[in-house]
Amino acid sequence: MSNCKKARLPEEEEMVEGSDDDGSDEDIPMDADAGWTVNMDVTGYDLKDHDFHGIKQLLEQLFPKTLPLSLSEFADALIAQNTIGTLLKDTDEPSEGDDVVYALVSCYSLTRSKKTDLLTSLRNLLVSKCQASSASKEDKTKFTQIIGDSWSENGDVAKCDTCVGLFLNERYINLPFEQAAPQMFGSLMKEVEVAKSSMRRQVRHDFTHYAMICKISKQGASSETKDTTYLNNEEEEFAQEAMLSFDFDVVSHHTTKSRRLLLLKAQTFQRIIANV
Amino acid sequence: MAVRCQFENNNEVGVFSRLTNKYCIVAVGGSENFYSVFENELVDVIPVVHATIAGCRIIGNMCVGNKNGLIVPHSCTDQELQHLRNCLPDGVVVKRIQEKLTALGNVFSCNDYAALAHHAIDRESEEVVADCLGVEVFRQTVADQSLVGSYSLFTNQGGIVHPKTSVEALDELSSLLQVPLVAGTVNRGSESIGSGMVANDWCAFCGTDTTATEVSVIDNVFKIGDGADASAIKTTMRESIVDTLM
């Protein structure tokens, strides 16, 4: 298969499901503890045009529709950067149908020469959420400056002092990821390395900083004792070594969800991701 | 040219609006952007009305109508019914029917002369629809799907049906409805044409994800815009759309 660029992930994802799955009721014990395992074979694929709907669905998890960001444009832009990014899909890929995309790992550079609506709305979103957050004044200025320096009005990206990449790590909730993670992250870093040399004038991939938005949930009565859980477990390690971070809320399907943006220096990011 | 729009970031325009040759109904939304797009195209031609049905915003799925009338389900409240009667033009009869399949927009698809219906609707509902809307009702499936309203959309000029409809079924439907039909998609490959867009004899609205190819198919089959050559879809357009004939 020409678009399967990596070897099959030799994993059998095990998912323990409760007994309320489909299947004849007579055979399955209705005991809630007696789950069974489902074996899934998944393969990493490049982002292609027919994955548009799957990618958009995963992006919606991170960026609910209430935000002023066009997810269609974003999905198109991720597909367009054809050397970067990996999707996790079923191994038996049906032809051109609407495949289910289980996970997405990609990196989108904010340092581009062409001023698109997408780029402007992404930057404005990050900066406005930062300004509105409860981060320290120092952090806010630092962040705004880094984002501000990572592009130039006249489109001359070579002169930019900083180069920021937005790291995307999305998957179906509760999908076991420990086996797939190292391969997906590893290949992403390799792809970014290769991309550094090409297209230097239009888009830069020699990132000085990586930004990532984590889905978090805060529990606890008062704001001091709030216990933060990261929906993507591996992101907690990144959070511990982030140079700065701030929280913001988004409204998704009439409920308020929390997000945390982390900004990491490139070397720190590369070190942590290699150890995942 | 078909107009692209979104209802609160949702591309399913046909779910939140109902467009006919005599009136247009749109759902009540947080911002008025959706309503403004319709107003822009239709101002002074036909009234554009805000409404809810059964307290829901998915009015496109809940009701069905044409220039002669509008049919709403039994879950529509008295106030909503009265509001519709007040706002719609005088010639339009608004009727409420007792049908167990209440999502009438999914279950019926019609133009000013003919209608397709779900095979399981009541005899009574079929008669009321035929009477109120002045149409001939045909119980049909579209590509083996019973929800004809979701998977097809046709006006007096032409229609689009589910992309997996066979050529024979397409010919049969076309001769029943007496309009040219095309099997196509909207909103970048979505099969629910009836939910994804609305159209009348001179304009159409679809989701922002609709590709340029899909828009040109819509313009051609519904004969919208200047220079919309009816037969272009079979001649000049064919080469750019059809890859191989099997």
CB pairs under 8 A between A and B: 13
- Mean per-residue pLDDT, B172-177: 96
Strands (E), B60-103: 64-65, 69-73, 93-97
Does the pLDDT of residue A220 top 80, yes or no? Answer: no
**Residue B104 CB coordination number (10 Å):** 26
pLDDT confidence of residue A121: 93
pLDDT confidence of residue A8: 44
pLDDT confidence of residue A174: 81
pLDDT confidence of residue A15: 41
Whole-angstrom distance, CA of residue A232 vs CA of residue A166:
16
Encoded amino acid at B188, one letter: R
Whole-angstrom distance, CA of residue B106 vs CA of residue A212:
42
CA of B191: which chain A residue's CA is closest?
Answer: A98
Whole-angstrom distance, CA of residue A212 vs CA of residue A273:
12
Whole-angstrom distance, CA of residue A210 vs CA of residue A180:
21
Q: Please, are residues B135 and B129 in contact by the beta-carbon 8 Å criterion?
A: yes
Q: Does B31 touch chain A (CB under 8 A)?
A: no
- Inspect the interface and report whether the beta carbons of A98 and B189 lie closer than 8 Å: yes
* Eight-class DSSP state of A81: S
- Inspect the interface and report whether the beta carbons of A52 and B9 lie closer than 8 Å: no
Model pTM score: 0.80
Q: What is the ipTM of this complex?
A: 0.73
Does the pLDDT of residue B127 top 80, yes or no? Answer: yes
- Inspect the interface and report whether the beta carbons of A65 and B208 lie closer than 8 Å: no
Q: Which band of pLDDT confidence, cut at 50, 70 and 90, is reported for residue A223?
A: low
Q: Which residues contact A63 (CB under 8 A, 6 or more apart)?
A: A69, A71, A74, A250
Q: Please, are residues B101 and B120 in contact by the beta-carbon 8 Å criterion?
A: yes
How does pLDDT run across B63-116, given as a tens digit for each residue? 999 999 999 999 999 999 999 999 999 999 999 999 999 999 999 999 999 999
pLDDT confidence of residue B54: 95
pLDDT confidence of residue A6: 43
Q: Which band of pLDDT confidence, cut at 50, 70 and 90, is reported for residue B16?
A: very high
To the nearest whole angstrom, how far is the Cα of B20 from the nearest Cα of chain A?
29
Q: Picking from A224-233, B44-53, B85-94, B225-234, which range would have the lowest pLDDT averaged per residue?
A: B225-234
How does pLDDT run across A47-79, given as a tens digit for each residue? 998 889 999 999 999 999 888 899 999 999 999
